[in-house]
Amino acid sequence: MSRERAVIHLNVADFAVSVERVVDRSLCRWPVVVAPPAAARSVVYDMSDEAYEDGVRKNMPLRQAQRLCRRARILPPRPDLYRRAMHALVAEARGYSPRLEHGAEDGHLFLDLTGTYRLHGAAPDVGWRLRKQVRARLGIDPIWSLAGNKLVAKVASRLVKPTGEYIVGGGEESSFLAPLSVLLLPGLAEQEVCRLQHFNIDRIGQLAALSRGQLLSVFGCRGEVLFQLSRGVDNDEVRAEGERSPAIEREWVFADDVCDQRLLAGVVAGLAVRLGMELRAARLVTRRLVLQICYSDGIRVVRQACRKSGTADDFLLRRLAEQALERACRRRTRVRSCRLLCDRLQHQSPQLRLFADPSEPSERRGRLVQALDGVRRRFGVDAVRFGSQPSLA
Amino acid sequence: MVPLRVRSWYSLLRGTSSPASLCRRARRFGYRRLALTDRNTLAGLWPFLRACEREEVSPLIGAELTDGTDRGQVVVALVKDDQGYRNLCRLITRVKAGEGLDLATDPALSAGSVLLTGDPERLAGLHDAGIDVAADLGNRPTETGSRLRRRARELGVVAVATPDSDLGGEDERPVRDVLQAIGSGTILGRHQAPAAAPLEAPQSYRQRFAVWPEVLSATEALAERCSFTGPRFGVVMPPWHGDGTVSGAQELRAQAYCGACRRYGDDLSEAVVERLEYELKIICQMGFASYFLVVRDIVRSPAEEAAERRRICGRGSGAASLVAYCLGITNVCPIRYNLYFERFLNPGRSDPPDIDVDFAWDERDALLERVFTRYGSHAAMVCNHVCFQPRLAIRETARAWGLPAGEIARLTKRLPWFYRHDQDDLEEQLSGLPTLRDQDFSGPWPDIIRLANRLIGLPRYLSVHPGGVVITPQPVSDYVPVERAAKGVPIIQWEKDGAEQAGLVKIDLLGNRSLGVIRDAVAALRANGTTLVEDNWQPEDDEATRAAIGRGETMGCFYIESPAMRLLQRKAGSGDFEQVVIQSSIIRPAANEFVREYVRRLHGGTWQPLHPALEAVLDETFGLMVYQEDVSRVAVALAGFSHAEADGLRKILSKKDRRRRLLDYHRRFYDGCRRRGLDETDIERIWAMMMSFDGYSFCKPHSASYARVSFQAAWLKTHAPAEFMAAVISNQGGYYSTFAYVSEAKRLGLQVDPPDVSLSGYHWTGRERRIRVGLQTVRDLSRETADGIVAARRVMPFSGMADFLERVRPADDEISSLIDGGAVDSLAPGANRSVLHWQAAACSGLRSAAPGRLFAPAPAAAPPLPPPAAVEQLRREYRALGFLCHCHPLSLVNGVAARGLVKIDALARCVGRTIEVAGWLLTGKMVATKAGETMEFLTFEDETGLVETTFFPQTYERCAHLLAAQRPYRLRGLVESDYGAVSLTVDRVEPLRR
């Protein structure tokens, strides 16, 4: 007997603001904008619904946001706090299903409850319970929606923002989507939206009325995706943590965007050092560093640098990061943030090398890195830094 | 010590100082001589020579030469004599042409120069080739320098010290960093600029080179050998080569009389003969006969085009010459309109005048091509030194700072387009601009603006002068280095002032859109069956045309279509040719009060001459100085200036650096007037009127010549509005947008038919009372595809949408705009535009799925899609065309139908009342009041008419940031009338939501 799929999408609207309001209840009385306040060119990181109503948007210059919403309380972003809150949110949900997929610190998670009826009861009950539990323990009121797949659950939660819940029964996907705007469908490219406007198709139902052949004829291979989307068909599984390829990442957001290449290189080196510490703590090595640069105009560039053999050595990681930076920083625009990720992880091998390899760190350097780790554990990561590497504390 | 290697800002994006400031610095340091050695250019030669003269520093002429590129190995050439100068020009020309710089294999090219090099091998090579060479040790003793010095000793060659400087001082280093970032296309923190040195005091070099004491004396000795202080060509006329049987003067006389008979008939009047003889005498006496003949040869249509008359319009003072008129170079009779020949040429004039001729804009490139084919290396165009202006300086500096393009554009787009910097503090000036009232000047902007301020005035690149051509007896590169402009034409490295100072006589061959308009309108008129004999065409005498001009209905008419001109015509109420000539000259930036006075006097107001001595001089212009030559005539009559002196004063008024040079004229004018007994108040009043010619102004021959074209345009608008408006929009480049001309066409009662792939040509067409939108107007449609549509249609009419898509194969954005603009509606009668979009997308999908197939399979039928809502369809039509064919966008704006709003055609009945009106902003002109406050005159329209509005400083300050062209506004203001011309003085403005 096939079991009916049940996927809950839990979403904390304006996650950073919600977390800040938990920490300081008095903020509930005011519109809140999260952005580095001291910087001249800072942009909005997150905002409350009231500020959104006044026209404030993410990545908008803070000064413009302040003009639009003069009453807003401006708070500096605290990514560590949001990361901890996200972990707490995930921890609340983890008890209901191992199939749990979540973002970094964005307040979104999918929970696949298929086959958990005997353990936890009906899926809607789990939704209610989870919401109550999160409200009680974390003080945050999340939106939740329940549907047969991630696509429909996500569309449903977009409908109830900023608070509420939505349950789409099995087999009701098409009728649920039909009257909704096509703009609610996730993953539509700008060009596809434009083409749909040309065809005067603005409801998902109109799109669903088109045959697969018709959609393929005008959208090419993307026609199949639109065909499935318009009918609420989504076979994408909720991927548990173990099913995703392991990676470690760190991000740095500049309060003021920067054009100083040396500063940028210093920050990237600092991120590499942090990744190195985490790798060594987990006795892992990496074979690839991926650097994502986010420019001031919102354009993101991703470049990578690889090695044949894995490493967790700070000096080599820094060199890889510099290579990736050299490849990524070609545009004539200031940089707003950079994210460094290492993947293709392997466990450290205890096997010593028979012959010395000049490209590999020497034993002596290994001891130096160990000593540095000791200092950093005791006095903080930035206690010992490369020259020109700024403190990221 | 003599600084032998100094680069100025003419070493583009490298040097930071002007030749003038380098000369000042050199003088301050006590240098008696200074060399200017810019990289691969002599562009700064004339500013340098002028500055040297002013600072009493003796100039050394030279240049750095590189191997093909700007970053190759460098040799410095210092000119010793005339031959060296010629060779240097040739060498730079070769470098700029990308030819190698193998000096050793062609030592003759180095004759007359001494070369400096810092490379020991090259030093030996050049020395072995017998070239006069010296070792360049740079600005301090180094290890490399030591090796070079040893090698020089071995060869028996002198070694010299050079500043090798790019900066005028240490404080210019940040400017240099930005220039380098701009030049290398990167941002400040990322670019590692090579070291740059400033020009330092002689004692610095003395101290450094104390270890090699012979070097400084060798430097002095080398400088002594370079005695060349600038070229002296005299007047360089274009050469005329006849068949050798007659001289230029004889040929000119014969051609002039032949032309006179063509213009006036075989029986020439005494006045014509007398004037011709007078002019011929002066022309031949001053050696200008060949110049006239060369211009005549250029202007004359080649044999293959003889059937089609080439439309020209003489501009500038040359239009005052009867000889030019008879040769067909100009188009107004100087006798009929009393044009003053001496303004063009007189025996006392020392500088050569130039003849300027306008051609239809789209014929000019072919004409220039023929000139270059005919004269080869003896012809080149004059260049423009394009300097950083505030907008460019801010944009480039901000880009070097890494600011996103959108953020930069938000500021620069709101700088008025004509904005010029004339104050020291750019930051203060910008923050005071009402249009930038809500601009965020935080963050790095203060730094950017401060640095941009220092960039203003630096040359950025060389561009082509709009029309100046020099033709020389020897190859042009014997006089001045020649390079290729981006568009491929050869240009000299001097701009027009430099060319003039060098004595090169230029011919201005300019493009004029209105000549294209008249050509196309006349051709359309003929094609539509109307006969127009142009030889007898006297539009100035046509009553209907004069009446239309008197009512200011001249939108689209060359030279008289601006809002200020139309208002003046309405106030004057007279469409006489003579008045139009005056009106087109009197509207100048600083002459508002004279315009008011002119209108008053024209309507019979009493007036006294400025001085009894001027009664006869300015009688024709109601006692007001209107034309450029009036300045000279007044200076002669009142201050006793000679004709040459007075002409000098007139010329200086139009120069960029006039302020300092005017001081001397000011003193002489005052002294002259006092000697003749004028009192101080009168002198001041007259001088102030003269200063209203500051910036730009026109001479009467120029205005008369242009007024003739204005009348032709006005005649066509009056008698063939459809053909005329179609030609105006097709030729583009008028004062107004296509949107405004379409509205004007509708007001003229013309029906505007949408574009149609089955009927429209590339250009707009007009016939009877209808105009058809041309494919040129459809957004995103390339010229190639538009021509493809017309060509495919000629082979066989399109049978339907599928046939059109298959044969034309437009790109996705092109077909999208064609559908939205309504251009393919006729191919699928009954189908809505949603379906058309589907068909286009399906067809494009099939083509991309099977790119190699000769015949694409027919797409399946489109599903039944709902048509777009009417407003949405119009919105897309506006986006595709920039206007709406059948209605005014203002009629779609919320709130316009509200009660209490007055239509623009009803304003004349509301004079003296404060009313509210809805208007679509077309264009504006920002001006400064006497107190330095900013205000703006803006033109708005609705479906019934146009209204000129005034935003006085207080209102402007309050709402300038809200104003943007092509948007609807609700305006409140006082309706005023001045001699029948109605305008609105706005006190409140509110944008309307579209």
Tell me, yes or no, whether B72 and B127 share the same domain: yes
Tell me, yes or no, whether B263 and B312 share the same domain: yes
C-beta atoms of A219 and B845 within 8 A: yes
Q: What is the pLDDT of residues B205-233, one digit of tens each?
A: 999 999 999 999 999 999 999 999 999 99
Q: Which of B399, B845, B848 sits opposite A332 (nearest CB)?
A: B399
Range ranked top by mean pLDDT from A55-64, A232-241, B160-169, B636-645: B160-169
Q: Tell me if domain A1-170 and domain A245-383 are identical in fold.
A: no
C-beta atoms of B187 and A263 within 8 A: no
Tell me, yes or no, whether B277 and B160 share the same domain: no
**Which residues neighbour B793 within 8 Å (Cβ) at sequence distance 6 or greater?**
B757, B758
Strand locations in A92-192 (E): 100-102, 108-112, 143-147, 165-167
C-beta atoms of A200 and B189 within 8 A: no
Spatial separation of the C-alpha atoms in residues A120 and A133, rounded to whole Å: 14
As given in the structure block, the two tokens for residue A375 are: 């200092």
C-beta atoms of B837 and A263 within 8 A: no
Contacts of A257 in chain B (CB under 8 A): 402
Whether the bond between A162 and the residue before it is cis, its omega within 30 degrees of 0, is yes
Binning pLDDT at 50, 70 and 90, where does residue B517 land?
very high
Spatial separation of the C-alpha atoms in residues A357 and B144, rounded to whole Å: 40
For residue B241, is pLDDT > 90?
no
Chain B interface, best mutation among A191, A259, A294, by max B CB count within 10 A: A259
- Decide: B196 and B171 in contact? Cβ < 8 Å: no
The whole-number pLDDT of residue B205 equals 94
| Residue B981's CATH number | 2.40.50.140
Least confident among B289-303, B767-781, B843-857: B843-857
Least confident among A169-183, A345-359, B282-296: A345-359
Chain A interface, best mutation among B191, B441, B442, by max A CB count within 10 A: B442
CATH number of A1-170: 3.30.70.270
- Decide: B345 and B353 in contact? Cβ < 8 Å: yes
List the one residue out of B214, B213, B112, B162 whose CA is nearest residue B2: B162
Tell me, yes or no, whether B854 and B950 share the same domain: no
Q: Which of A195, A214, A295 sits opposite B863 (nearest CB)?
A: A214
Q: Which of B401, B407, B816 sits opposite A259 (nearest CB)?
A: B401
Strand locations in B345-397 (E): 356-360, 379-387
> What is the arithmetic mean of pLDDT over A279-305?
92
Look at residue B640 and tell me if it is in a domain.
no
> What is the arithmetic mean of pLDDT over A88-114?
91
Tell me, yes or no, whether B729 and B793 share the same domain: yes
- Give the angle subtended at the CA of B154 by the CAs of B151 and B155, to the nearest 5°: 90
Binning pLDDT at 50, 70 and 90, where does residue B102 land?
confident
Shortest CA distance from B815: residue in chain A: A198
- Specify the number of domains making up chain B: 5
Least confident among A367-381, B544-558, B563-577, B882-896: B882-896
Give one DSSP letter per residue of B281-341, joined into a string: HHHHHTT-HHHHHHHHHHHSPPGGGTTSPPPEEEEGGGGG-HHHHHHTS--S-TTTTT--G
- Tokens 């009916």 sit on residue: A4
Interface of B with A in 341-400 (CB under 8 A): 399-400
For domain A245-383, the CATH class is: alpha beta
The whole-number pLDDT of residue B897 equals 67
Q: How far is CA B694 from CA A308, B638, B652, B798, B831, in A?
A: 73, 20, 9, 59, 61
* SS3 call for B843: helix
C-beta atoms of B848 and A220 within 8 A: yes
For residue A270, is pLDDT > 90?
yes
C-beta atoms of A260 and B189 within 8 A: yes
* SS3 call for B653: coil
Shortest CA distance from A42: residue in chain B: B443
> What is the arithmetic mean of pLDDT over B711-729?
96
The number of angstroms, rounded, from the C-alpha of B273 to the middle of its chain's C-alpha atoms is 38
Look at residue B549 and tell me if it is in a domain.
no
- Decide: B773 and B810 in contact? Cβ < 8 Å: no
For residue B458, is pLDDT > 80?
yes
Q: How far is CA B860 from CA A198, B718, B840, B846, in A?
A: 18, 52, 11, 10
Contacts of B188 in chain A (CB under 8 A): 259
In the sheet with A143-147, reading across from the earlier edge strand, the strands are A100-102, A108-112, A7-11, A143-147, A165-167
Range of the domain at B843: 720-881
Domains in chain A: boundaries: 1-170, 171-240, 245-383
Tally the residues of chain A. 393
Q: CA torsion sign, B963 to B966 to B968 to B971?
A: positive
> What is the arithmetic mean of pLDDT over A226-244?
87
What is the percentage of chain B residues whose pLDDT exceeds 90?
62
Q: Cβ–Cβ contacts within 10 Å for residue B768, how many? A: 12
Binning pLDDT at 50, 70 and 90, where does residue B27 land?
very high
Tell me, yes or no, whether B854 and B986 share the same domain: no
> What is the arithmetic mean of pLDDT over B171-197?
87
Least confident among A64-68, A331-335, B102-106: B102-106
Output the average pLDDT for chain B: 89
CB pairs under 8 A between A and B: 92
Q: What is the pLDDT of residues B551-588, one digit of tens each?
A: 999 999 998 999 999 999 999 998 899 999 999 888 87
C-beta atoms of A297 and B404 within 8 A: yes
CA dihedral A310, A311, A315, A321 (to 10 degrees): 50
Shortest CA distance from A222: residue in chain B: B845
Tell me, yes or no, whether B931 and B962 share the same domain: yes
| Residue B805's CATH number | 1.10.150
Interface check for B863 against chain A (CB to CB < 8 A): the answer is yes
As given in the structure block, the two tokens for residue B298 are: 């250029």
For residue B831, is pLDDT > 90?
no
C-beta atoms of A333 and B848 within 8 A: no
A193 exposed, middle or buried (CB, 10 Å; 0-12, 13-18, 19+)? middle
- Give the angle subtended at the CA of A228 by the CAs of A224 and A231, to the nearest 5°: 140
C-beta atoms of B837 and A296 within 8 A: no
Do the strands B74-79 and B58-66 form a parallel or antiparallel pair, or are they unpaired?
A: antiparallel
Interface check for B842 against chain A (CB to CB < 8 A): the answer is yes
For residue B334, is pLDDT > 60?
yes
- Provide the 8-state DSSP code for B3: -
Model confidence, pTM: 0.85
- Give the angle subtended at the CA of B474 by the CAs of B471 and B476, to the nearest 5°: 55
Look at residue B261 and tell me if it is in a domain.
yes
* SS3 call for A128: helix
Shortest CA distance from A223: residue in chain B: B845
Which residues are registered as beta bridge partners of B459?
B387
> What is the arithmetic mean of pLDDT over B896-910?
84
Angstroms from B987 CA to nearest CA on chain A: 25
Shortest CA distance from B846: residue in chain A: A217
Q: What is the pLDDT of residues B111-155, one digit of tens each?
A: 999 999 999 999 999 999 999 999 999 999 999 999 999 999 999
Contacts of B857 in chain A (CB under 8 A): none
Interface check for B403 against chain A (CB to CB < 8 A): the answer is yes
As given in the structure block, the two tokens for residue B942 are: 């609705």
Tell me, yes or no, whether B301 and B412 share the same domain: no
Q: What is the pLDDT of residues B910-936, one digit of tens each?
A: 999 999 999 999 998 888 787 778 889
C-beta atoms of A198 and B402 within 8 A: no
Q: Which of A217, A219, A259 sits opposite B187 (nearest CB)?
A: A259
Tell me, yes or no, whether B271 and B363 share the same domain: yes
The whole-number pLDDT of residue A1 equals 40
Spatial separation of the C-alpha atoms in residues B356 and B342, rounded to whole Å: 16
Angstroms from B870 CA to nearest CA on chain A: 12
Angstroms from B934 CA to nearest CA on chain A: 26
Higher local confidence (pLDDT), B895 or B375: B375
Look at residue B333 and tell me if it is in a domain.
yes
- Domain topology for A171-240: DNA polymerase; domain 1 (1.10.150)
Angstroms from B405 CA to nearest CA on chain A: 8
For residue B420, is pLDDT > 60?
no
- Decide: B721 and B750 in contact? Cβ < 8 Å: yes
Angstroms from A187 CA to nearest CA on chain B: 21
List the one residue out of B877, B545, B578 whose CA is nearest residue B715: B545
As given in the structure block, the two tokens for residue A230 are: 């318009």
Shortest CA distance from A330: residue in chain B: B186
Binning pLDDT at 50, 70 and 90, where does residue B994 land?
low
What is the percentage of chain A residues whose pLDDT exceeds 90?
63
Shortest CA distance from A218: residue in chain B: B842
For residue B438, is pLDDT > 80?
no
The whole-number pLDDT of residue B856 equals 62
CA dihedral B797, B799, B804, B808 (to 10 degrees): -40
**Long-range Cβ contact pairs of B484-490 (< 8 A, separation 24 or more):** B484/B96, B484/B97, B485/B381, B485/B383, B489/B368, B489/B372, B489/B380, B489/B381, B489/B464, B490/B372, B490/B379, B490/B380, B490/B381
Contacts of A210 in chain B (CB under 8 A): 863
Identity of the residue numbered B787: D
**Which residues neighbour A152 within 8 Å (Cβ) at sequence distance 6 or greater?**
A168, A173, A176, A177, A232, A234
Contacts of B816 in chain A (CB under 8 A): 198
C-beta atoms of A295 and B404 within 8 A: yes
Spatial separation of the C-alpha atoms in residues B292 and B248, rounded to whole Å: 9
Q: Cβ–Cβ contacts within 10 Å for residue A181, how many? A: 9
Tell me, yes or no, whether B206 and B95 share the same domain: yes
**Which residues neighbour B151 within 8 Å (Cβ) at sequence distance 6 or greater?**
B120, B123, B124, B135
Chain A interface, best mutation among B182, B451, B833, B865, by max A CB count within 10 A: B865
Angstroms from B334 CA to nearest CA on chain A: 58
The whole-number pLDDT of residue A2 equals 47
The whole-number pLDDT of residue B245 equals 82
| Residue B151's CATH number | 3.20.20.140
> What is the arithmetic mean of pLDDT over B331-351?
82
Tell me, yes or no, whether B780 and B823 share the same domain: yes
Tell me, yes or no, whether B948 and B898 share the same domain: yes
Look at residue B143 and tell me if it is in a domain.
yes
C-beta atoms of A334 and B868 within 8 A: no
**Which residues neighbour B458 within 8 Å (Cβ) at sequence distance 6 or greater?**
B9, B16, B175, B179, B387, B388
Interface of B with A in 141-200 (CB under 8 A): 185-190
Phi, psi of B429 (to 5 degrees): -65, -40
Residues of chain A with a CB closer than 8 angstroms to some CB in chain B = 40-41, 61, 63-64, 67, 195, 198-201, 209-210, 213-214, 216-220, 256-264, 295-297, 329, 332-335
**Long-range Cβ contact pairs of B116-122 (< 8 A, separation 24 or more):** B116/B4, B116/B5, B116/B75, B116/B76, B116/B77, B116/B78, B116/B160, B116/B162, B117/B74, B117/B75, B117/B76, B118/B74, B118/B144, B118/B145, B118/B148, B119/B73, B119/B148, B120/B147, B120/B148, B120/B151, B122/B73, B122/B75
Chain B interface, best mutation among A193, A332, A333, by max B CB count within 10 A: A332
What is the percentage of chain B residues whose pLDDT exceeds 70?
95
List the one residue out of B5, B346, B61 whose CA is nearest residue B228: B61
Spatial separation of the C-alpha atoms in residues A10 and A102, rounded to whole Å: 9
C-beta atoms of B440 and A61 within 8 A: yes
Angstroms from B189 CA to nearest CA on chain A: 4
